Copies of this chain bind each other. A is one copy, B any other.
Amino acid sequence: MGLGSLAMYALSKDAQDLLFGQARTANTFSSEPVSEDQVKALYELAKWGPTSMNSQPMRLVLARTAEAKEKVINHLFDGNKPKATMAPLVAVVAADLDFHETLPEVFPIFPGAKDMFADEAYRTQFAISQAWLQAGYFILGVRSLGLAAGPMLGGNMAGIDTDLLAGTRLRTLMVMNIGKPGENPWFDRLPRLDYQRAVTTL
């Protein structure tokens, strides 16, 4: 898959393939359930990814009941609805806009941390940015279980906030299907930017 010289990596080729080189976004899923223990295992791994000030603002909302799942799927674009309907687990990846309340506990080395986030606009953009950073860890965490992730932004995410997350301080970032791939799960692989276009040396 166009990886660099294998000798450069401390990560095994199998692990590279599992997480990056051969991993793909699934568009169909088998009916095999995703258990609570699997989600816990995923969390216990991906939670270690670093965030600024150890803020960890990402939250997962698992839409397990038919009612919850419908509230998510209703707000997806039509092209995404069949995928989510088929997926054994649909998770809403969200940011906790009041993550700063946990800072005294998770960032005790800086007692004034919480006070830095009194401004709601600043706090919101910080929460969203660090939750997206964590989303990267969690997509790879799904793959670490041998499952396929199907992240989806195509839909009305604000509608999910209203219908599913009313009464919380969570803001939906994206929806993620999780499960074993089904039949014909992959589209053709899309091209990535060449190194020279993504990396500049000054």
Contacts and interface: CB of A to CB of B under 8 A. Distances in A.
A173 B10 CA distance: 27
Contacts of A68: 202
Interface residues of A, number: 87
A41 B9 CA distance: 8
A64 B200 CA distance: 10
A162 interface: no
A87 interface: no
Contacts of A60: 198-200
Contacts of A37: 4-5, 8
Nearest to A56: B193
Contacts of A48: 1, 20-21, 23, 192
Nearest to A140: B140
Contacts of A56: 192-193, 198
17 contacts: A3-B45, A4-B44, A8-B38, A9-B45, A10-B18, A11-B45, A12-B12, A20-B137, A43-B195, A44-B195, A47-B192, A49-B140, A59-B198, A59-B200, A129-B132, A133-B136, A135-B136
A33 B82 CA distance: 49
B200 A146 contact: no
A107 interface: yes
Contact of A140 (B42, B137, B201): B137
